[in-house]
Structure 1
Amino acid sequence: MGSGAVERGRAERRPVLFPLLLSLFSPALSEQIRYRIPEEMPKGSVVGNLAKDLGFGVQELPTRKLRISSEKPYFTVSAESGELLVSSRLDREQICGKRPACALEFEVVAEDPLNFYHVSVELEDINDHTPKFTHMSFELQISESAQPGTRFILEVAEDADMASNSLQNYKLSPSPSFSLVNKEKQDGSKYPELVLEKMLDREQQSYHRLVLTALDGGNPPLSGTTELRIQVTDANDNPPVFTKEVYRVSLPENLPLGTTVLQVSATDQDEGINSEITYAFYRPGQVFTLNSKSGEIILQKTLDFEDIREYSLVVEGRDGGGLVAQCTVEISIKDENDNSPEVTFHSLLEMILESAVPGTLIALIKIHDQDSGENGEVNCQLEGDIPFKIISSSKNSYKLVTDGSLDRELTPEYNITITATDRGKPPLSSSKSVTLYIADINDNAPVFQQASYTVHVAENNPPGASIAQVSASDPDLGPNGQVSYSIVASDLEPRALLSYVSVSAQSGVVFAQRAFDHEQLRAFQLTLQARDHGSPALSANVSLQVLVGDRNDNAPRVLYPALGPDGSALFDTVPRAAEPGYLVTKVVAVDADSGHNAWLSYHVLQASDPGLFSLGLRTGEVRTARALGDKDAARHRLLVAVRDGGQPPLSATATLLLVFADSLQEALPDLTDHPVPSDPQEELQFYLVVALALVSVLFLLAVILAVALRLRHTSGPLAWGCFQHGPCSKPVPVVAPNYSEGTLPYSFNLCVEHMGKTEFNFQKCNDPLNSGQDILFGDSSGALFPLCSATESTSHPETLTSQAPPNTDWRFSQAQRPGTSGSQNGDETGTWPNNQFDTEMLQAMILASASEAADGSSTLGGGAGTMGLSARYGPQFTLQHVPDYRQNVYIPGSNATLTNAAGKRDGKAPAGGNGNKKKSGKKEKK
């Protein structure tokens, strides 16, 4: 194109762009922006100021970054001025072919914020193509018998230009025999017809040469020529005649190959060979074939509406004499829905934060369908129930945005499938899927596996041992899900906390920093925190309670009797007239442990006269088992062992010195005698007496056994009166103790039936003993047996005697009663924890009241509420010096509240009142 054509194209573009640019200043820019330019503009030519038409200022251009989104780079956008420039050759005929309207549509993408605009550039045709004939020359045979007015269709020239620049008319060089007529087809295209003006005479001129010229409508017009060679043939009076001058047919584009499109038909009135008609295409093509005999036109190539929408064919019918007739076949192609929509993603995000608000733009979507009409109208939708939606932006353009809250912990990624469906019948659709990943934020706090933790740790644990482990989970990713542990609160002192426990920040394992002591600290509570590493960090707290269990690591401690400052033992005085069951003294001991480990029992290790005194297994009370005989010694020594219930048990010992005397003055001379050297002869006599006594005891036991067996077979029920009614009604078999009901084992209470003064029969009692029913010293090994409360004759059994009233000197006022319940001493088979410790508290109060006898009084009575204790136990020994260990005791398997059963002492108080206790002035004889 010359420079004059370029200037002309620019001059023609200005009035066209002016009304279009006015519409661009409207507030809504959502409609398509249109430009119109001539084709073949030089590269770099300005189409229009796109930035101005979009309403962008020059200062916005660097941030908006306008760019073209198109398959072929026909245009570019100037980054400095925002002008739309031509970037490649624009040949309208090459781009659009013969289509009446030629427009290049593309998207202009702007960033910050992201958006796109639809732009259409219409290419105007210029006269840049000359009409061209297919052949430089062509021949035409005309019979000399042809009548004037006969018309012959000539070859058509091709012009790629459109509208006024296309082929407009044909001209024929001057000839007296021929003229030219311009005919127009249904689509508006022109074709020439040669008209015979007069009869031809082959003998005068058998050959005619004419020039056919094709002219377009350009300014100036362009033209093309071809030579027409006309041969005059011999006369054939009747040429073929077609039934129709123009055949028209409409075909679907999906018509199968080999289908007969239509059939042309021509007739000839001649006879013989001059009437035989042969059909042929004037210009053979590749899409259709023609049966030369039948005139059937058959499809041999696939039709495509999107490629060619109409075909125009010229069919010749030639008889045997050489006469030819022509007809036109116009075939129009109907569009079928044979193209599925195409889905294309632009500016697609691969990852989005789970905190993205609804409406966040994810991608731009463009839908394209090559079909026309309803077959090219497309609906777009999302598949599945996902928190996204598509919004129509412009024609066949959509935006993919979020339509709800996102949670990566529930759904870490989404497979988004977009389906485009056209409105054809039947409709066609296509789908395209993309994967969108959800980026994590720290929106989940750690969660502990348990609401609270409780751990049991036995005391004396090794320092550094792990005692518990807490675990918390966080579903977030990376640092947002990494959890560390720490101690944030405790009921311990802040300074002491670090010396007791620590926690591993990574594993949550709690370590003991020291050995725990149940007697000092029984339980403590920690508040542990799990914190993730997010920003900002989230945390959760949990309570951990540590219970320190008891171990038997404390031996019993004897409170009474206590040794004097010089290491000498105290002595207790017993009235000579004391009856069986008389309370002589009480061994008081405590244990710092708890539960079974603090359950004390009292046992006799050594006794100078095993049968004279009894010791309460649980109470520690020392009572007289029988009356003092004339041959019994006045001084006695008991070695008592106090054991706890631990495994293995721990023990302590206490020494008791007992003196039978009616007054303190009577006991003192015997205690102040100095020991004399022992005589070897006397020691020999002593061993002989002991051996004789043992033999006698064995003999008596054999006699007692024989008599008992004899009475069992021969005697009536009266001989076993001890087992008829009352406390000793019948034998009870010895069974293993049962611990399943939460109670603890107790020693069996036995009943003794007296047979004279030398024989005894031991049987079990079925009733629990009262506080007066104590344990009898069986032998020196410490075997103990409880006695019945009354002595019976074998020959004349009687009912058990009633219990004697308690010794008034041992009574306490309500304020003096020990224990939480204020009860008196309980019996040995009562509820063991409170009975034991109430007795200990009672003994401590007795010792505290000994200060009343510290005035040097020599009387045995000592006053009410005292036992005539030695002045060594002064006022400083009170209840506040006795630890209260009742909280250490529990009953395994039971949650019952410990109570104290009331009990009474058996036997009557002697006339002398209470005994008196004094320090021994010399060491006891061995």
Structure 2
Amino acid sequence: MTAYHIKLFAEGKAFCYSTVFDLKIIRNDLPNIKSLRSDKDRGDGTARYVLSGEGAGIIFRIDEKSGDLHATQRLDREEKASYTLQAQAFNKITGLPLEPATEFIVKIHDINDNEPKFTKAVYTASVPEMSDVGTFVIEVNATDADDATYGNSAKLVYSILQGQPYFSVEPETGIVRIALSNMDREVRKEYQVIIQAKDMAGQMGGLSGTTMVNVTLTDVNDSPPRFAYSSYHLSTYESAEIGSTVGRIKANDGDEGENAEMKYRIVDGDGKEYLDIITDEITQEGVIVVKKKLDYESKRVYTVKVEVTNTHQDPNFTVLGPFLDTAIIKVTAKDVDEPPVFSRPQFVFEVNEDTPKGIAIGTITAWDPDATHYPIQYAIDQHTDPERLYHIDPKNGSITIIKSLDREVSKWHNISVLASEMNNPHQRSRVPVLIKVLDVNDNAPEFAMIYETFVCENVRAGQLIQTISAIDTDDPLVGHKFVFSLSSMNPNFTIFDNEDNTARILTRRSGFNRREMSVYYLPVVISDSDYPIQSSTSTLTIRVCSCDATGNMRSCSVDALLLSAGLSTGALVAILLCVLILLSEFMQTGRKEPLIISKEDIRDNVVSYNDEGGGEEDTQAFDIGTLRHPEVVESNQLRRDIIPEMLFPYHRPSPMKECADVRDFIISRLQENDTDPSAPPYDSLATYAYEGNGSIAESLSSLESSATEGDHEYDYLSNWGPQFKKLADMYISKDTGVAN
């Protein structure tokens, strides 16, 4: 049955009152809601009623004659709770309204035709394990489409159908709470709770709906780590390297996530010095590693006590007891054949550089660490002692000197000594041996540099002309201390020791004359202060020069310049003569085509020869001269690397009488080059006295040229002879041979 509330509001004469009709009808009925009748309806059938507004003609209709109002279909309050309609009476004959239209509202009364529905079909919640009773878990919410303001159709009550005794729900609010204490995640992690919502305040006949709540207990650190065994047994070879893994152990923890993170440490045991434990953060295992070399011969079993604890501890649960566990780990060292062991990681010896050969400078000691204790033999790695300076006794390890040492050559000698077992030479060890060569005063001091010293002709007595210093390759402990002196009394110069490893050279007189004496040699004695005292004499060369009034050098004597350059007077004259001869040859060849016109004509290609001589005709390169003058081609071409039988049919006598030495020198050198098969070929720009056939340059020699060409004068020595003689007379005295 559905109750409809119909309120009619009439505003006219006929409807000057309002009436509320309460009708209860059965669904699918078309109830007669109310009869609407106008006061001006005389009952003679002339009045006609018309209905308009929401649902008029579709949901509601009116009887034109009687004014009865009817519902034509089911009404649902949840879809529409009220309708606004207008009713009006008309005269059938005239069609005029009998009265103004009247508006009225039809309200639909609610019945309990909707069950409660939850906002989610499945809820998900989580709560920490070991939570107290009454701890909030989740709040569920259901709604009812019925009218909450009318009766109890929408008044809901919550109850729990499944999930007891672990959870409870508040009837009015739908809040789910913990109902059992000490719920342990390690025992049970997930729960399914079914909650019911019922309308009509939970009374009989009410409608209901249900939902499911999946509750997960989250982890708290309430479980301490525990070892599976009280002791573990591991083993490794005594040769295991430091840091190598011996084995792994793992404790169990019922927690998860960071609550299950553990750390291990060694707290006690006689192997604490040799073993260590590292926590593997990924696997949460304890990794036993070698901390210090194990020795089977000295100790067979190493014992440590290992402790494991949680990294993150909850103070709410640590009060229940210590959150740690311990276990004993025993590591057995297994024997291996080990190489010899030296008594030191390195050996350092000192030896004086003057130590005689055959003297021992130190002893290397090593032994077999194994229980067998095999004898050891020693040897020097020859790659570290390439000069073979040292020898080691293969039995006792004594190192001796077999060659003289020189600290000035090398201050340190770094060698390697090998020790191996006699019964097993493959078991070998190496140790560095550092030998420091100590200094002995075995080198004399000398000038620190080459001094260019000069004295002015107008110098005064007591004037400083040079400050000298010395060096010594020795290395005394307290530093160098040099003493300077003259080997004998010198009338021209004296020396003053500054006592700071330098000395001053002073003049003892004035008025030097470079024409009388252009160079002076001053022997200086330099001594050191170490034991035994070493001394040497170094000669200071002093040139006499012409100076201006302020002491600045203007010029020096020729002898002095030559001496400073390391050349004699005769050598200088010979060089000058050769230069003049070469210049004269080039000056007289002005009309001839040069052998090489430009730098571009120099061929830079690789040439090959068929024999040891060689010449331009032997090369595989192009002849530039032939390319420029193709008309010069002769069938009979002579080799340029073979001396012809008749080199020159005619020799003009040389008028060079005054310069016979220079002439003989040049001629002898020409002959040597002509007859030497290994002399450079033409292609290397060496000029020969005989050019051979086919050369467009013809002969360029001023000494061996043919006399048939009358337009050239090749006798340069006869023309230049008097000038060379005069030049030589200017520099060389016939009586003394000393430069003027």
- Report the TM-score when normalising by structure 2: 0.37
Larger relative contact order (Cα-Cα within 8 Å, sequence gap ≥ 6): 1
